[in-house]
Amino acid sequence: MIYNINFGIGWASSGVEYAQSYRAELLRKAGYPMKFVFLDFISAENIQTLTSNLGYHDDEIIWLYQYFTDTRIAPTTYTLEQVRQSLDGEVTHVERLGKTVRLHYGKGSFATCYLKHADQDYVDRVELVSKGKLIRKDYYSYTLLYSEYYYPKEERATLVSRVFYNEDGSVAYTEYVNGDDAIFKINGLVLNGKMAFVDYFMQSLQTTREDIVIIDRATHLGQALFRHVKPAKLGVVIHAEHFSENATTAETILWNNHYEYQFKHAHLVDFFITATDIQADILRKQFEQYEQISPAIYTIPVGSLKELTKSKHRKPYAVMTASRLASEKHIDWLIRAVVLAKQHVPELTFDIYGEGGERARLTQLVRELNASDYITFKGHVHLQKVYRDYTLFLTGSTSEGFGLTLMEAVGSGLAMIGLDVNYGNPTFIDQGKNGYLIPYADVKEQNEHLIQAYVQAIIQYFEGDTKAFHKHSYHIASAFKSTVIQQKWIDLIEEVQHD
């Protein structure tokens, strides 16, 4: 069994969850049994809704808080009528608004039911109020999963405990809550705190020499995760920049706090995984220099391409970018560069895909530059069949651990222009062959210089052989095809299992 350890999952999942989803698809096709473990407490809705949204199979999921019950990970099918029948009193009045239904019953009591969908009577959770006080919340899938109990403290409902149930309604275990502290009473044991709970979970897995445990996140819980891994093989995935360059000298290095425990205990780790060769080389040299060790480090990209997307007709001067509209993506630099480049390339258009907090500011900038007729915000769109309509991809990001959009762009043959920063851009941009890397120094006074560099690169691209650039992007992308990445996983698994 391959266990993949993470914290949480949501609708706005991070690159870690998407990386795990890609991994799941490749390992599934290769026939490896696997579990994806989520350690965070998730209360907004049934975890199955979130995991299935990213393509996970129900039998692949372990949720820490459900693990010690006999309930299965399954879709929400508990009905409004079942809730109604469970209430301690006859329902006298019903209020319904969208996905919320309020059932009034007894004397001054009501149950607010939160539906999974407005047009279906399947209930995710219910809040029970008596005499104006919240007393309990119940959470469902196909059965009652757990209940939260509250008492009034300083005119506010305060959580005091959670009771987790088996399928037949019997109590599996109880969590007693005191602010940020928790005590778990389970199987006759008293576990003091989340660390002890995770420690007990890892011990309960009873891993064997045939198992592999891959840790994607471990902040604050590294000790509990490491303690009971053996005899399984242990791997750690590096998803971001792993050290602070500004705080690193020839004698000391400041590791990213998300990876510090793993690095300091690297002698217990059987292998590390980075998404790019560049990061693997840097990490390998740093381990030798600062820790005097040489652990096994593999490069396996966090994403892959099922196929290369060919284009029958690209809009000749169509440029695009795709990312969160966040300040660190520097979309404003790209907008200004396109406006200036259009003076030399009159046919130029620029489409911006994505959403984020910078949308209003960037929209205003486009208006101020009188560029609304050729710079367009496209919003959040599924991009798989969009890239092929364009000829050039711009990125202004100053930091990319990998860059899934970069991979997808070269997979559709786009030329690329971006900053010469680790790790994504130099992985997908081959200088002068499929795009241009712009030298970067983190100095605000250089912003205008950078914008001018983008302008010159855009002009240079359109004055050159654009088809040759597209061809080379496809060449780069071929190394990221799903069959290639799947084989990397197979090779790693076979090597560590027979080590």
Helix (H), strand (E) at residue 286? helix 277-286
Cα three-residue angle 250-256-261, rounded to 5 degrees: 100
Query: How many whole angstroms from its chain centre is CA 453?
Result: 32
Both 403 and 475 in one domain: the answer is yes
Helix (H), strand (E) at residue 121? strand 120-130
Q: Is residue 387 part of a domain?
A: yes
Q: Where are the alpha helices (DSSP H) in 30-188?
A: 47-53, 64-67, 80-86
Contact 138, 144 (CB under 8 A): yes
- What pLDDT does residue 444 have? 55
Given a cut of 60, whether residue 445 has pLDDT beyond it is: no
Domain containing residue 217: CATH number: 3.40.50.2000
Both 37 and 105 in one domain: the answer is no
Give CA–CA dist 49/52, Å, rounded: 6
Q: What is the mean pLDDT of residues 76-91?
A: 90
pLDDT tens column, 214-246: 999 888 888 888 989 999 999 999 988 888 888
Both 42 and 174 in one domain: the answer is no
pLDDT tens column, 125-169: 999 998 889 999 999 999 999 999 998 887 788 899 999 999 999
Q: Other C-beta atoms within 10 Å of 166: how many?
A: 15
| 3-class SS shares of the chain: helix, strand, coil, % to 5 | 35, 30, 40
- What pLDDT does residue 70 have? 96
pLDDT tens column, 192-211: 999 999 999 999 999 999 99
Percent of all residues in the chain with a pLDDT value above 90, rounded to a whole number: 71
pLDDT tens column, 286-330: 999 998 999 999 999 988 999 999 988 899 999 999 988 988 899
Domain count, the chain: 3
Q: Is residue 311 part of a domain?
A: no
Residue type at position 403: G
The Cα-based distances of 163 to 37, 115, 175, 222 in angstroms read 21, 22, 6, 27
Given a cut of 70, whether residue 114 has pLDDT beyond it is: yes
Q: Terminus-to-terminus CA distance in the chain, angstroms?
A: 16
Cβ neighbours of residue 157 closer than 8 Å, sequence gap 6 or more: 133, 134, 150, 151
Both 450 and 358 in one domain: the answer is yes
Phi and psi of 431, rounded to 5°? -50, 120
Query: How many whole angstroms from its chain centre is CA 473?
Result: 26
Phi and psi of 194, rounded to 5°? -65, -40
Q: Residue 496 in 3-state DSSP?
A: helix
Tell me the chain's radius of gyration from C-alpha atoms.
26
Q: Which of 215, 181, 216, 179 is nearest to 197 (CA)?
A: 181
- What pLDDT does residue 89 have? 84
Q: Is residue 155 part of a domain?
A: yes
Contact 211, 2 (CB under 8 A): yes
Cα three-residue angle 326-14-279, rounded to 5 degrees: 90
The pTM of the whole model exceeds 0.85: yes
- What pLDDT does residue 255 have? 87
Q: Is residue 498 part of a domain?
A: no
Both 200 and 63 in one domain: the answer is yes
Last residue of a domain, one of 127, 162, 186: 186
The parent domain of residue 440 ranges over 318-480
Both 332 and 456 in one domain: the answer is yes
Give CA–CA dist 166/143, Å, rounded: 9
Q: Which of 320, 311, 303 is nearest to 479 (CA)?
A: 303
Q: Is residue 313 part of a domain?
A: no
Beta bridge partners of residue 185, listed in sequence order = 174, 190
Give CA–CA dist 39/204, Å, rounded: 14
Give CA–CA dist 287/263, Å, rounded: 8
Give CA–CA dist 340/347, Å, rounded: 13
Contact 297, 284 (CB under 8 A): yes
- What pLDDT does residue 312 have? 83
